[in-house]
Structure 1
Amino acid sequence: MNKFLLSVHVLAAIIFVGPVTVAASMFPPLARRALAADQPETAELKVLHRISRGYAIGGLSVPVFGIAVGAGLGVLTDYWLIVSMILTAIAAGVLAFVVLPAQGRVLAAADGAPEARDRVLPQAKSLSMTTGVFALLWAVVVVLMIVRPGSTTGV
C-alpha cells in the first residue's frame, strides 16, 4: 500500500505543484507588461490565474498522500518530515493568502482605468519575489524528500 500511496503522492506533486509554480511565476512579468500598456491584454493573465487557482486546489492532495505515506512508513516524527510539512504549509499559505489574491487584484485593475492599473503595479512587481519564495520553499521540500537526513537507504 505504501508504494501506491507514494506513487500517488509523487504524481500529484508533479502534476499539480509543478504547473502552479510555473503559472504563478509567469504571471508577474506578463502583469507588469499588461498594466503598463495603453490597451492591456488580459487573456493570458486570466488563464495563468485560473491555472494557479485550479492546480492549487489539486495540490492539496500532495500533503494528504504525503502524510499517509509518512504514517505508513512510521516516519511522521522524523524531523526532516516535520520540517517538510511546515515548509509545505508555509508554501500553501503564501500561495493561498498572498499570490492568488494579488493575482486577482491585478486582474481586476488590468481591465480598469489607468489610475487603477498604476495603483497595483507595485503589487505586480513584488509578486515576482513572492512567487520566487513560493518556488524556493517547494525546492527545499523536494530536496528534503530526496535526501531524507538520517535515512538508512545510503543515498
Structure 2
Amino acid sequence: MNAFLLSAHVLAAVIAVGPVTVAASMFPAAVRHAVATPEDGRNLATVRMLHRICRVYAVVGVAVPVFGFATAKNMHVLGDTWLIVSMALTAVAAVVLGALVLPGQGAVVARLEGGGAGPLSAPPARLALYAGLFNLLWAAVTVLMIVRPGSTTGV
C-alpha cells in the first residue's frame, strides 16, 4: 500500500504542480506581449490559456497533499519535523496560488478582454514575483521530500 500511495503522491505532484509552475512562470511574459500588441488576438488567447492551465491544475493539485497525507499516515511519519515543515510550506504555496497568483491572473485577463486603457491591476512583474515564490516553495517541499532531514535516508 505504501508503494501505491507514494506513487500516486509523486505522480500527482508531477502532473498537477508541474504545469502550474510552468504556466504561472510564462504568464507575465505573455501578458507583456498581449499589452504590447493588442491587435494580435493570439497573444490574448495565450494569456487566457495559461490562466486556464493554472486554474484547472490548481484544482487537480489538491490530490498532492491528499495522497501525501495518506502516505505519511500509512508510513507513520506524521510527527516528523521534515513532514510538518513540508505540509506548512505546501499550505503557504496553496495560499500564494489561491490568493495571489490566480486572482492576479484573473484580473489581468479581465482587463485585457475588456480592452480598457490604463495600468494593469496586477503588473506582470508582481505576477512574476508571486509565481517565483510559488515555485520556490514547491522546490523547498521537493527537497524536503527527498532529503528528509533526520531520517536514515537523509543527508
**TM-score > 0.5 by shorter chain:** yes
- 1: CA distance, partners of 2:50 / 2:88: 27
- 1: CA distance, partners of 2:24 / 2:154: 36
Q: 1:67-146, aligned counterparts within 5 Å?
A: 67-115=69-117, 118-120=118-120, 123-146=123-146
- Unaligned runs of 5+ residues in structure 1 are none
Residue type of the alignment partner of 1:12: A
Residue type of the alignment partner of 2:152: T
- Matched positions, count: 153
Q: 1:42-61, aligned counterparts within 5 Å?
A: 42-61=44-63
Q: Residue 119 of structure 1 aligns to a residue in which SS?
A: coil
C-alpha spacing 1:52/1:154, structure 2 compared with 1 (3 Å)? closer
- 2: CA distance, partners of 1:10 / 1:88: 14
Identity of aligned residues (%): 57
C-alpha spacing 1:36/1:154, structure 2 compared with 1 (3 Å)? closer
Q: Deviations over 1:57-93 (max 9, x none)?
A: 0000000000001111111111110000000000011
Q: CA RMSD in A?
A: 1.4
Give the superposition deviation at 1:119: 2.0
Report the TM-score when normalising by structure 1.
0.93
Greater CA drift, 25-34 or 53-62: 25-34
Q: Deviations over 1:14-37 (max 9, x none)?
A: 000001110111001111221233
- 2: CA distance, partners of 1:55 / 1:119: 28
Contact 2:89–2:137 under 8 Å retained in 1: yes
Contact 1:32–1:125 under 8 Å retained in 2: no
- 1: CA distance, partners of 2:66 / 2:28: 29
- 2: CA distance, partners of 1:154 / 1:112: 52
Residue type of the alignment partner of 1:4: F
List 4+ stretches of structure 1 deviating above 4 A: none
- 1: CA distance, partners of 2:149 / 2:142: 13
- 2: CA distance, partners of 1:64 / 1:139: 19
- 2: CA distance, partners of 1:145 / 1:113: 44
Contact 2:147–2:154 under 8 Å retained in 1: no
Q: Residue 120 of structure 2 aligns to a residue in which SS?
A: helix
- 1: CA distance, partners of 2:104 / 2:154: 43
C-alpha spacing 1:33/1:154, structure 2 compared with 1 (3 Å)? closer
- 2: CA distance, partners of 1:120 / 1:99: 14
Say whether 1:24 aligns with 2:37: no
